Structures are given as structure tokens and as C-alpha cells.
């Protein structure tokens, strides 16, 4: 059971976890031990509320396919259990980040003194550049 919030949970049967071999150098056990994890989560066929599904499908994340399947590959740890926990935690943060309300940006205007400082610095820079011309002997 993966708890997303106080009211939303994902059952274990909705998350498909498969073991795969990790990439990269690994020493003696590299060809014997499958310690990496592929996590697959089907958004449209899940028990998430419709609001969650809409927000997740609207995300432009490369981990979400066009069909709405989230695929997360975890291979940063040496053990299967830690990689499994890492993949579940990454799924949880992905869902929470999609549902989080963005703060409304209220446009602000620069102050009068800030505008004056900007124009003054521009005129100073212009005078400096005007002095860089050719010198008449």
C-alpha cells in the first residue's frame, strides 16, 4: 500500500515491479544479480481520483508514456529492496508534484527608484562606450 495523502492510497496490485540487471560496472556479481527495478503504474486503470489522473496525464514528463503508463527505473542502490523503495518514493513524489497547486503569480512593477537606477547605469555605460572611439591626433 503506497500512501499518497491522507485520503489517497495506491494498492500493491496496481504497481507492477520487475527485477532487471543494473547497467554499468558491477564486479563479480554483475551478470548474476538482478538488483535494479522497473516500476510500471497504469494511470487510466488505477484507483486514483479523476482529478489526480487528469493532472498526471497533463504532465509532460518523459517517464509517462502516451498511453498513461508511468515507468520508473531505479538502479542507484546495490540491493533490490533499496531500489524498490527508491522507485516507490519517486512515484509518490511524481504524483504529489502533479497534484500540488501552483502559487498564482501576481505581476509586480519595478519601483520608481529602480527604474531611475537602471536608466542612470545605461547612460553611464553609454558615455563610457562613447569614449572608446578613434582618437584624432
pLDDT surpasses 80 at 87: yes
pLDDT tens for residues 48-85? Answer: 889 888 888 888 888 888 888 999 999 888 888 999 99
The DSSP annotation for 47-87 comes to SS-HHHHHHHHH---TTB-TTSEEEEEE-SSSSHHHHHHHH
CATH topology of domain 2-99: Double Stranded RNA Binding Domain (3.30.160)
CA distances from 12 to 57, 82, 96 (A): 21, 17, 18
The model carries a pTM of 0.69
Helix (H, G, I), strand (E, B) or coil at 16: strand
Domain locations in the chain as residue ranges: 2-99
User: In sequence order, what are the residues at sequence separation of 6 or more whose Cβ sits closer than 8 angstroms to the Cβ of residue 3?
Assistant: 9
pLDDT tens for residues 105-134? Answer: 999 999 999 999 999 999 999 999 998 988
Amino acid at each position: 500500500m503506497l500512501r499518497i495523502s491522507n485520503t489517497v492510497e495506491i494498492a500493491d496490485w496496481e504497481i507492477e515491479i520487475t527485477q532487471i540487471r543494473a547497467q554499468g560496472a558491477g564486479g563479480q556479481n554483475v551478470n548474476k544479480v538482478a538488483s535494479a527495478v522497473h516500476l510500471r503504474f497504469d494511470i487510466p486503470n488505477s484507483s486514483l481520483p479523476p482529478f489526480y489522473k487528469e493532472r498526471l496525464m497533463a504532465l509532460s514528463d518523459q517517464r509517462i508514456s502516451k498511453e498513461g503508463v508511468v515507468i520508473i527505473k531505479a538502479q542507484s542502490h546495490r540491493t533490490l529492496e533499496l531500489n524498490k523503495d527508491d522507485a516507490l518514493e519517486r512515484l509518490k513524489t511524481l504524483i504529489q508534484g502533479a497534484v500540488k497547486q501552483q502559487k498564482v503569480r501576481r505581476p509586480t512593477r519595478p519601483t520608481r527608484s529602480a527604474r531611475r537606477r537602471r536608466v542612470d547605469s545605461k547612460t553611464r555605460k553609454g558615455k563610457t562606450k562613447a569614449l572608446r572611439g578613434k582618437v584624432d591626433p
